[in-house]
Amino acid sequence: MDYRVESSETLRNKCAACYRQFNKIEHLVEHMRTSYHSAHEPTCGICKKHCRSFESLREHLIGPLPKQECRNIFSTRGCKFCLAILDSSYALRVHQDRCQLSGANAGLLGRFANLGIRDNTENGSTRGTQVVALACKMVGGGSDGSLDLCAKVCLIDEYENIIFQSYVKPLLPVTNYRYETTGIRPEYLRDAMHLRQVQKKIQDFLCNGEPMWKIRPRGGKARILVGHGLDHDLDSLQVEYPQVMIRDTAKYPPLMKTSKLSNSLKYLTQAYLGYDIQTGIQDPYEDCVATMKLYMRMRSQVHKKEAYPLASDPQNRNNFASWRQNELERMSPEQMLEASRSDYYCWCLDSRDM
């Protein structure tokens, strides 16, 4: 009899999202206050467990110590790229053919893009562009060549069309062209566009006529900027842009390692898109295409709609600050999960504004 009571109590103290069990209800309440579980977390299509990242979900399904039942089903009906569970092996084959993308066009167009400056920033066809991806290639400056200087930049739209691409003349002398990976020679930068000119073109195109102080996440004219390690790229271009308009695949929680460190773009492209990049001489166009495809895949996810989806929204009560402790302890784990909200901005929310 005592065993049944203990078992029932343990079940009551089990998190409805990650399935962690706690000895006391107050421990579960504290866990929910700090975990920020939500409908936007990667979720196992079999047991419905919430994971903090897709890497965590991958470990749950096919890692060294997976949940055996989930692993068995995933091995026959699971997509190794998006980690979705399909209805049958045949449905999986059809799905995976579409889910595995190709970078062949990116490589080919990137080679053509090497031929001189491409500037469509003032072209009428780009006026309706809402999302753009940016990437830079760096050469070395300083006495030991370790200082990163932007020498080539690329900007594309969501259909992978080049908006702007150019070699860039850095403000400081180049001491290492890093030719093995950049393919850049001294003569390419001799008559290249100056950094200040590139900075202004990119800044103006991103802001799209909107003053920096006026830019807001929704309803404005400023464009969403996608990239990988954008802090570094923007710093090298000396471009400022509001964080609310930046979508960085190096910082997006669902795409990070279980250790909460960034994955490389090369790894993300291979694991989630199914093709290889950055082999040999690297082109910023190729990086732009990879980050845009990752962004579009994350944006296309379908999650439960919520009026106020963020923990930072003043209207919701994710941190449970307005609830009394005894009220929280009377809630079921499912009710706590229903009240919980995400501590990061899910990119699926962008699709609702377009």
Q: What are the residues facing 247 on neighbouring strands?
A: 226
Q: Which two tokens stand for residue 44?
A: 């196992």
User: Do residues 292 and 160 lie in contact, with contact meaning Cβ atoms separated by under 8 Å?
Assistant: yes
Per-residue pLDDT of the chain (354 residues; tens, 9 = 90+): 344 444 555 567 999 999 999 999 999 998 998 899 999 999 999 999 999 999 999 999 999 989 999 999 999 999 999 999 999 999 999 999 999 987 745 444 544 445 567 888 877 666 778 999 999 999 999 999 999 999 999 999 999 999 999 999 999 999 999 999 999 999 999 999 999 999 999 999 999 999 988 988 888 899 999 999 999 999 999 999 999 999 999 999 999 999 889 999 999 999 999 999 998 888 999 999 999 999 999 999 999 888 778 877 776 654 566 667 788 888 899 999 988 889 999 999 998 766
pLDDT at residue 11 in the model:
66
* Spatial distance between the Cα atoms of 112 and 165, rounded to a whole number of angstroms: 11
> What's the rounded Cα separation, in Å, for the pair 224 and 350?
9
Q: What's the whole-model pTM score?
A: 0.91
CA distance 154 to 139: 15
Euclidean distance between CA atoms 331 and 275, whole angstroms? 46
